[in-house]
């Protein structure tokens, strides 16, 4: 009995020691290696094309709008990207090449600086969202492990806070403590909070990128107000 007790205490000490040595960076690296295809596979990719469908809803659950986007991104050797989007009667094309942005709306080139800056932001945001959790290790971002929490599906998750320089937006990333899969995000824009759940992941790339996501308006303690957006992704080319 005494031997068993000593063994159990030793096991608990080792387990607690391993847990306390975890950092945000270690969790993200573990997520990449164990749940998201391995860092080497992310780094060897040069191009990805995909279709994204976004449906917005009002507070009563009625569909407000649908937007279809066709996105092509060359990651290396030089970053470039293109988004063609269709929303109602509006057709838009954004192109980024050699760090120059071009925007065409309904066949009319746009030259206003504000419109071009907004277009650049839209394009970079698309890549930022799809390319997680890899970009958490490559971007200039301050990461903080805030402990573990239980998600709505009763799985336990590591909660990691991400703060980006020159940005008032704050992100939280939630990784399953067993599988290390990226489960969801919470993002704070000003006084508004959104919860984005990863409903399913694709299997074409081996990286388990987003396939289906839902975004909810929430309060600061994650009480859901209503479903605001549904996102569907379909990878069409990878090399």
> In this structure, what CATH number is given to the domain that contains residue 38?
2.50.20.10
* DSSP state at residue 83: E
Residue 8 within any structural domain of the chain: no
Q: Does residue 18 form part of some domain?
A: no
Residues with pLDDT less than 70, the chain: 1-20
136, part of any domain: yes
What pTM does this model have? 0.91
- For 58-95, write each residue's pLDDT tens digit: 999 999 999 999 999 999 999 999 999 999 999 999 99
Q: Which domain holds residue 66?
A: 23-238
Strands 90-97 and 80-87: antiparallel
Question: What pLDDT score was predicted for residue 202?
Answer: 97
CA 143 to chain centre: 15
Give the CA-trace dihedral at 217, 227, 71, 112, to 10 degrees: -50
Number of domains into which the chain is organized: 1
Is residue 2, in this structure, part of any structural domain at all?
A: no
Kindly state whether residue 179 falls inside one of the protein's structural domains: yes
Using an 8 Å Cβ cutoff, are 176 and 168 in contact?
Answer: no
């Amino acid at each position: 009995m005494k031997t068993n007790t000593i063994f159990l205490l030793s096991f608990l000490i080792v387990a607690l020691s391993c847990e306390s040595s975890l950092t945000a960076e270690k969790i993200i690296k573990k997520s990449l290696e164990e749940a998201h295809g391995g860092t080497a596979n992310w780094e060897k990719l040069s191009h990805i094309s995909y279709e994204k469908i976004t449906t917005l809803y009002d507070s009563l659950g009625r569909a407000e709008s649908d937007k279809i986007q066709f996105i092509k991104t060359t990651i290396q050797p030089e970053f470039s990207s293109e988004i063609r989007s269709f929303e109602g009667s509006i057709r838009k094309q954004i192109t980024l090449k050699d760090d120059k942005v071009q925007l065409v709306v309904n066949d009319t080139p746009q030259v206003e600086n504000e419109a071009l800056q907004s277009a650049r932001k839209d394009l970079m945001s698309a890549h930022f969202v799809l390319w997680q959790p890899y970009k958490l290790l490559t971007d200039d971002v301050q990461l903080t492990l805030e402990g573990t929490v239980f998600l709505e599906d009763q799985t336990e998750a590591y909660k990691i806070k991400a703060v980006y320089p020159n940005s008032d937006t704050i992100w939280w990333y939630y990784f399953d403590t067993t599988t290390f899969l990226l489960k969801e995000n919470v993002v704070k824009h000003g006084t508004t909070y959104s919860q984005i759940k990863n409903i399913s992941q694709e299997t074409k790339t081996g990286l388990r990128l987003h396939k289906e996501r839902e975004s909810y308006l929430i309060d600061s303690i994650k009480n859901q107000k209503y479903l605001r957006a549904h996102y569907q992704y379909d990878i069409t080319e990878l090399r």
